[in-house]
């Protein structure tokens, strides 16, 4: 009888674990602002912590490997839209200009510092530590001390250790775009659409294997910017180039260093979409086809917490029954 009871509870525990695995969402939306100025940012989880670099990343003189990240994190599903910039400005964010387009179009024409201002707003408006130490005009960056700086995966003096939202480093951006999401390995795609075949150029849409590039109509809405990467991000190929947080040399120890941008834009050729292509180190203050997306630390959802609590309760009951 006791054996049957333990067996039944073992089956229940396994069944609950399987159910929880299906219930845990792959994407989660964070909410900011209120009323007419309410906006959401959707994130996908980037797992496989400790994956290896893409040894062939960069190409040519930029042959430093990219993509290895030793921790889990979340990446914005979409590029930041102009609507999010407008609403954040209405809520008190300052020194970020209106970009090209509007509404659900990406916030193109954004400088790296303006992107950093927006990230800081996301943090401070939700009770978190600002990621970047900017001057009052938001035009220069001061690096954090070693004791204040981000340490996960290596010291990063640009990003504060307690920041919740941040611009993705080049490794974080590269992994979300090109890693095959097949485990802790060095398996990468050439394009951010989960393929080694160049995406089909489109002006808009969500069909797998497509990207918004080589068109004259301008950028698409951020949620209509082509097929998804292996992790579920959209638009890391095409639509607009995207700033990354890192200095061009990747060391992040000087506030005056230039930052690269990646991914191609609506007017780009296929060359700009490749994992081997990055631009810098001397971009102008802004271009009409550079935008950005936001990354974040991982956050357990209520579903995960409920499943964890339920499985723990079942396990405790099993132990008591076995005594």
Q: What is the per-residue pLDDT for 316?
A: 41
Whether residue 221 contacts residue 212, with contact meaning beta carbons closer than 8 Å, is answered with: no
Q: What is the per-residue pLDDT for 301?
A: 53
Q: What is the per-residue pLDDT for 211?
A: 98
Q: What is the per-residue pLDDT for 60?
A: 41
**Cα angle, residue 260 at apex, residues 254 and 263 outer, rounded to 5°:** 155
Residue partners of 120: CB distance under 8 A and separation at least 6: 130, 131, 132, 134
What is the DSSP annotation of 134-176? E-TTS--EEPPPTTTEE-TTS-EEEEETTBSEEPPPHHHHHHH
Integer CA distances (angstroms), 288 to 112, 245, 254, in order = 13, 19, 26
Cβ density class 90-117: b for 16+ within 10 Å, e for less: eeebeebeebbbeebbbbbbbbbbbbbb
DSSP state of 92: T
Rg of the chain, C-alpha, whole Å:
21
Kindly report the length of the chain: 323
> pLDDT digits over 179-207, tens only?
999 999 999 999 999 999 999 999 999 99
Q: What is the per-residue pLDDT for 64?
A: 66
Q: What is the per-residue pLDDT for 44?
A: 98
Total-model pTM:
0.85
User: Tens place of pLDDT for every residue, the chain, 323 residues?
Assistant: 444 433 333 433 343 333 333 333 456 899 999 999 999 999 999 999 999 999 876 544 445 689 999 999 999 999 999 999 999 999 999 989 877 778 999 999 999 999 999 999 999 999 999 999 999 888 889 999 999 999 999 999 999 999 999 999 999 999 999 999 999 999 999 999 999 999 999 999 999 999 999 999 999 999 999 999 999 999 999 999 999 999 998 899 988 888 999 999 999 999 999 999 999 765 456 788 999 999 999 976 533 433 433 433 434 444 334 44
């Amino acid at each position: 009888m006791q054996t049957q009871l333990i067996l039944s509870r073992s089956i229940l525990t396994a069944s609950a674990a399987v159910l929880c695995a299906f219930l845990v969402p792959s994407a989660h939306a964070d909410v900011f602002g209120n009323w007419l100025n309410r906006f959401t940012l959707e994130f996908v989880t980037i797992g496989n912590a400790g994956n290896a670099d893409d040894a062939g990343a960069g190409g040519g003189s930029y042959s430093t490997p990219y993509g290895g990240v030793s921790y889990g994190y979340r990446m914005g599903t979409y590029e930041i839209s102009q609507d999010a910039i407008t609403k954040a400005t209405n809520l008190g964010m300052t020194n970020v200009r209106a970009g090209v387009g509007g509404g659900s179009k990406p916030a193109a024409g954004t400088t790296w510092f303006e992107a950093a201002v927006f990230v800081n707003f996301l943090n401070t408006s939700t009770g978190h530590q600002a990621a970047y130490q900017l001057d009052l005009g938001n035009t220069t960056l001061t690096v954090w001390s070693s004791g204040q700086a981000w340490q996960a995966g290596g010291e990063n003096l640009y990003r504060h250790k307690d920041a919740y939202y941040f611009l993705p480093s080049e490794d974080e951006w590269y992994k979300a775009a090109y890693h095959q999401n097949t485990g802790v390995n060095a398996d990468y795609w050439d394009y951010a659409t989960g393929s080694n075949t160049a995406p089909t150029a489109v002006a808009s849409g969500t069909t797998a294997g497509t990207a918004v590039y080589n068109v004259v109509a301008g950028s698409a809405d951020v949620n209509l910017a082509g097929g998804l990467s292996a992790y579920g991000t959209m638009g890391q190929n095409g639509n607009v180039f995207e700033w990354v947080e890192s200095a061009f040399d990747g060391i992040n120890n000087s506030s005056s260093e230039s930052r690269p941008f990646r991914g191609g834009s609506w007017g780009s050729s296929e060359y700009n979409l490749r994992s081997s292509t990055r631009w810098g180190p001397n971009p102008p203050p802004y271009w009409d086809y550079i935008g950005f997306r936001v990354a974040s630390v991982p956050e357990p959802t209520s579903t995960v917490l409920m499943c964890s609590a339920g499985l723990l309760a079942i396990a405790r009951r099993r132990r008591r029954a076995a005594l």
